[in-house]
Amino acid sequence: MRYGMVIDLRKCVGCNSCTAACKQANATPPGIFWSKVLNYESGEYPQARLRFLPMLCMHCQEAPCLEACPTGATYRGDGGLVLVNDDLCIGCRYCMMACPYEARSYNYNAPKAYYTGLELTEFEQAGYKGHPKSAIEKCNFCQPRLQAGQQPACVVTCPSEARIFGDLDDPESQVAILVASGLAKPRLEEQGTRPSVFYIELDE
């Protein structure tokens, strides 16, 4: 079993539903994004177009963040997930520097309320227990949802069904078929990280 995701850039409309779903499912504090969508332009006037690139942790098979961590806080979990143990994390941020995808965030302060001047909501009080000060944060493919037999929140929320999730080790899964066909490809392949997130590029 190796969890993986294919993101079809031909279908992504840049709505950021995945970003919102991720924050809701994982109760990430203000300024912390496990999933985000980058905007960029391609082409030249008058044929210039706005493009979208969803980004998250790639859960690499050859993860440089795992090798850079001096305490073992970054570790390999079930299904090939790259996870972080907050109790072992010392906030050195070596993993952040090692990650070529800029997929990690650092909590400089204890999480604050989203609404200035107001107390933490009950949702924030419950969710922020998993976001301690001086710890590293990143996408975990919604591990609690996976353990409950559900797919990641970003996948089920995407209105254009641009995200496909499954077992890369299962040759009959949709993600494995897309990767084997050569249609879905990794980003920054030259880095040698062997990511578990693949992209179907836009037709120019």
Predicted confidence at residue 110, as pLDDT, reads 84
pLDDT digits (tens, 9 = 90+) for 112-155: 888 888 888 888 888 898 898 898 999 999 999 999 999 999 99
Distance of alpha carbon 91 from alpha carbon 76, whole angstroms: 19
pLDDT at 12 over 80: yes
Contact 104, 96 (CB under 8 A): yes
The tally of domains found in the chain comes to 1
What is the DSSP secondary structure assignment for residue 193, as one 8-state letter?
A: -
204: confidence class by pLDDT, cuts 50, 70, 90: low
> If you average pLDDT over every residue of the chain, what do you get?
94
pLDDT digits (tens, 9 = 90+) for 42-79: 888 888 888 999 999 999 999 999 999 999 999 999 99
Return the SS3 of 22: helix
**Owning domain of residue 142:** 3-200
User: How many other β-carbons are positioned within 10 Å of the β-carbon of residue 84?
Assistant: 21
pLDDT digits (tens, 9 = 90+) for 73-101: 999 999 999 999 999 999 999 999 999 99
Distance of alpha carbon 63 from alpha carbon 197, whole angstroms: 13
Report percent pLDDT > 70 for the chain. 100
Say which CATH number the domain at 102 has: 3.30.70.20
Both tokens of residue 49? 């177009």
- The whole-model pTM stands at 0.92
pLDDT at 157 over 90: yes
- Residue 136 backbone phi and psi in degrees, to 5: -90, 140
